[in-house]
Amino acid sequence: MPSVRRVSHEFLQRQGLTTVFGNPGSNELPFLAELPGSFRYVLGLHEGAVVGMADGYAQATGRPVLVNLHAASGSGNAMGALTNAVASRTPLVVVAGQQVRSAIGPQANLANVDAPALMKPLVCWAAEPACAQDVPRALAQAVFEAQLQRRPTYLSVPYDDWAAEADENCLPVLDRSVRLAATPDAEQGRRLAGQVAAARRPALVLGGDIDSAGLFDDAVRLAERLGGPVWAAPSQFRLPFPNRHPLFRGVLPAGIAPVSRAFEGHDLVLVLGAPVFRYHEYLPGRYLPEGTRLIQVTADASAAARAPMGEALVADPGAVIELLVKALDAPKTSVGDYRPAPEPLTAEGPRLHPEQVFAALRDALPRDTAYVVESTSTNSSWWRQMDLRRPGSYYFPAAGGLGFGLPGAVGVAMGQPGRPVVGVVGDGSANYGITALWTAAQHRVPLTIVLLRNGTYGALRWFGGLLGVPDAPGLDIPGLDFTRVAEGYGVPSRHVTGIDELRAVLAERPDHPRLVQVDTALTTPS
C-alpha cells in the first residue's frame, strides 16, 4: 500500500490543486516530502501575505487553492487575511501541521491545542482526522466543502500521519468528484419571472458573486432588459457591472438609511449574488421604504438565511439571469451611451490628486487591466475616474482587513498570466502585506504596484470626523520610503513626482514586478 502522503498528493494532483501557497515549519515538512514535480510551492514570508496571494490566485483562477501554514502560530498570523477570503467567498483549503497525537494532550511545543476550534468562526469546516488512514478522505472533504460552500476550510494533520501506510479504503477518494447544480424548478422560475415582469419600477443590486461566477456580461444583458437602475451591493469584493454603463448608479452606501433612500420609489429590488446587505457605518432607519419588496437570489445559503428582510431564493444567479432574460420582453428604448469620466480634480502644491493618478491609469493601461485596490481614502476618486468594462477588472478586500492589496495583486497576476495587473495600494495598507514583494520578485511576476503616499491613515482621519474623534493619536505615518523597501525585497521601483512622468512610466510594460511611488494629496472616501 502507498503512504497516506502519496495518496494525498495524488488526490490533490487529480483535483488540480498543484500550486501551493505556504510558509512551512517543522510540523509541515513531512507533508512536503516527495512532492511530485508537477507541484509548485509558492513561498510567502508571512502568513498574511501567503493567504492574500492564495486568495488573489483562487479568485483569478476560480478554483480552490491549497494553503500550507505552520501549526497555531502560522494559522494565527493568517486569520486577519482569512476574514477577507470569507467575505469574497474564496475556496481556500488551509492545511496545517500538528504535533503527533500523543504529544497534543501534554502540550508539547508546537502542539496546536484544539486546532479546529482556533479557526472555526472563520472557516466553514475545520477538522483534525482521528487516525492517519482518514487523512486522504478528510483532505478531500476540505477541498469539496470549500468548493461547495465557497468559504475557506481548515485541516490540521499530525505530522507522522503522512508517512503512515494507507489502507485500501483510502483509495476510492481518488476518483471522487463533487458538483453543485442549483437551477430553480419550473414553478419557482415562473413565480420569480412573474414577480419581476409585474414590477413597475424594478431596481437591480448586484454582488461580487456575479463577477466571480463569470456573469458580468450576463448581468448587463439582464439590466438592459429591465431598463432600471443598477447598483453594486455595499462592501463588495468585485465589480459586478461596468461602472460607466448608463444604467449604473454606483456602489450602494454601506448604511441602512442611505440604502433605503436609494430604493425610494422602486416597487421591487432584485438582489443577485450578494448578501442583504453588508452595512458598515451605523446609520439607522427602515431597511426598505414603504411599498418596496426585495427578492434576493444567491447561491450562498447562509447569506439567504441571515438577511433581515426580503424573500430569498437559494439558486445559481446565472440560471436565474438566463431564465429572466428569456421571460422578459426586449426593451423598447435604448439605454443610452456609456458616460465619460469627468476632468480629474487637481491638488494645490507638489502632490498629485488621486483622481489624476487614476485618470492616468485609465488612459495609459490596457482596457483589460485587472486592478487590486486597497487605498481607503481614495474610494470616491477611484469611481469618478475609472472606466472598467471587462469581467475580473476589480478586486477589493471586502472584510476591510488591510493586507490583501499587495499580496492579492501578486496572486491575481500569477493566476492570470498574460493579463496586465496593477495593485493600487495606500502607504498604510502596503505594510500589512509588504513581504509579498519578495515572492513577486522571486517568481518574476509581471505586475505594477502603484503606491499612493499621503503620509497618513487617510480614511481613519475622515472616520475621526464622523465619529466625533478629531484628536486620535497614531494616525500619521511619515518617514516611509517604499522605493527603498521594495528594492530590499528585490523589486525595482520609481518615485514619480509629476503627472507626465507618471503617464510615461505607466506606458512601459516591464516583464517583472515594479513599484511606482506617487506622493498624493489627502482626500475623503466619499
435 binds ligand TZD (CB under 6 A): no
Figure out which of the listed residues 459, 485, 496, 515 binds ligand TZD, where binding follows CB under 6 A: 459
- Characterize the bridge pairing of strands 268-272 and 202-206: parallel
Residue 271, helix vs strand vs coil: strand
C-alpha to C-alpha distance for 404 and 53, rounded to whole angstroms: 8
Is there a contact between 435 and 45 (Cβ–Cβ < 8 Å)?
yes
Q: Classify 89 in phi/psi space as left (phi over 0), alpha (psi -120 to 50) or beta.
A: left
385 binds ligand TZD (CB under 6 A): no
Q: Does residue 443 have an active-site annotation?
A: no
In whole angstroms, the minimum distance from the beta carbon of 406 to Ca ion comes to 14
Q: Classify 114 in phi/psi space as left (phi over 0), alpha (psi -120 to 50) or beta.
A: left
Figure out which of the listed residues 3, 90, 153, 375 binds ligand TZD, where binding follows CB under 6 A: 375
Of 50 and 294, the one with the shorter C-beta distance to ligand TZD is 50
Q: Does residue 177 have an active-site annotation?
A: no
Q: Does residue 235 have an active-site annotation?
A: no
Of 298 and 379, the one with the shorter C-beta distance to ligand TZD is 379
Annotated catalytic residue, options 62, 264, 280, 498 = 280
C-alpha to C-alpha distance for 491 and 484, rounded to whole angstroms: 9
Q: Does residue 488 have an active-site annotation?
A: no
Figure out which of the listed residues 411, 426, 433, 513 binds Ca ion, where binding follows CB under 5 A: 426
Figure out which of the listed residues 98, 377, 393, 439 binds ligand TZD, where binding follows CB under 6 A: 377
Write the burial class of residue 297 (CB in 10 Å: 0-12 exposed, 13-18 middle, 19+ buried): buried
396 binds ligand TZD (CB under 6 A): no
Q: Does residue 47 have an active-site annotation?
A: yes
C-alpha to C-alpha distance for 387 and 83, rounded to whole angstroms: 28
In whole angstroms, the minimum distance from the beta carbon of 434 to ligand TZD comes to 12
Figure out which of the listed residues 52, 428, 446, 513 binds ligand TZD, where binding follows CB under 6 A: 428
Site for ligand TZD in 68-87 (CB under 6 A): 80
Quick note: the x/- pattern for Ca ion over 437-456, rule CB under 5 A, is -----------------x--
97 binds ligand TZD (CB under 6 A): no
Residue 177, helix vs strand vs coil: coil
Helix (H) or strand (E) holding 261: helix 256-262
Annotated catalytic residue, options 16, 26, 102, 285 = 26
CA 380-383-384 angle, to 5 degrees, is 85
Of 199 and 522, the one with the shorter C-beta distance to ligand TZD is 522
Closest Cα partner for 42 from 439, 434, 418, 404?
A: 439
Annotated catalytic residue, options 3, 9, 22, 28 = 28
358 binds ligand TZD (CB under 6 A): no
Of 64 and 354, the one with the shorter C-beta distance to Ca ion is 354
407 binds ligand TZD (CB under 6 A): no
Provide the CB-side half-sphere exposure for 463 (13 A, CA): 12
Q: Which are the contacts of 441, defined by CB distance < 8 A and separation ≥ 6?
A: 489, 490, 491, 512, 513
Annotated catalytic residue, options 250, 400, 455, 490 = 400
C-alpha cell of residue 147: 468548493
Residue 272, helix vs strand vs coil: strand
- What secondary structure does DSSP assign to 286-318, as a single string? -SS-TT-EEEEEES-HHHHHH-SSSEEEES-HH
C-alpha to C-alpha distance for 347 and 163, rounded to whole angstroms: 63
- Binding segment for ligand TZD (CB under 6 A), chosen from 97-105, 150-158, 179-187, 398-406, is 398-406
517 binds ligand TZD (CB under 6 A): no
C-alpha cell of residue 199: 414590477
In whole angstroms, the minimum distance from the beta carbon of 430 to Ca ion comes to 9
Figure out which of the listed residues 432, 438, 482, 489 binds ligand TZD, where binding follows CB under 6 A: 432
In whole angstroms, the minimum distance from the beta carbon of 372 to ligand TZD comes to 13
374 binds Ca ion (CB under 5 A): no
Nearest residue to the partner ligand TZD, using Cβ: 426
Of 88 and 429, the one with the shorter C-beta distance to ligand TZD is 429
Backbone φ and ψ for 105, nearest 5 degrees, come out as: -55, -50
- Binding segment for Ca ion (CB under 5 A), chosen from 292-300, 366-374, 401-409, 419-427, is 419-427
19 binds ligand TZD (CB under 6 A): no
In whole angstroms, the minimum distance from the beta carbon of 27 to ligand TZD comes to 26
Write the burial class of residue 453 (CB in 10 Å: 0-12 exposed, 13-18 middle, 19+ buried): buried
Figure out which of the listed residues 341, 427, 440, 443 binds Ca ion, where binding follows CB under 5 A: 427
Is there a contact between 156 and 110 (Cβ–Cβ < 8 Å)?
no
Of 226 and 521, the one with the shorter C-beta distance to Ca ion is 521
Q: Does residue 400 have an active-site annotation?
A: yes
Q: Does residue 145 have an active-site annotation?
A: no
Helix and strand totals (H; E) in the chain? 20, 18
402 binds ligand TZD (CB under 6 A): yes
Annotated catalytic residue, options 3, 46, 47, 392 = 47
List residues with catalytic annotation. 25-26, 28, 47, 70, 280, 400
Chain positions contacting ligand TZD, by CB under 6 A: 80, 375-378, 400-403, 426-429, 432, 454, 456-460
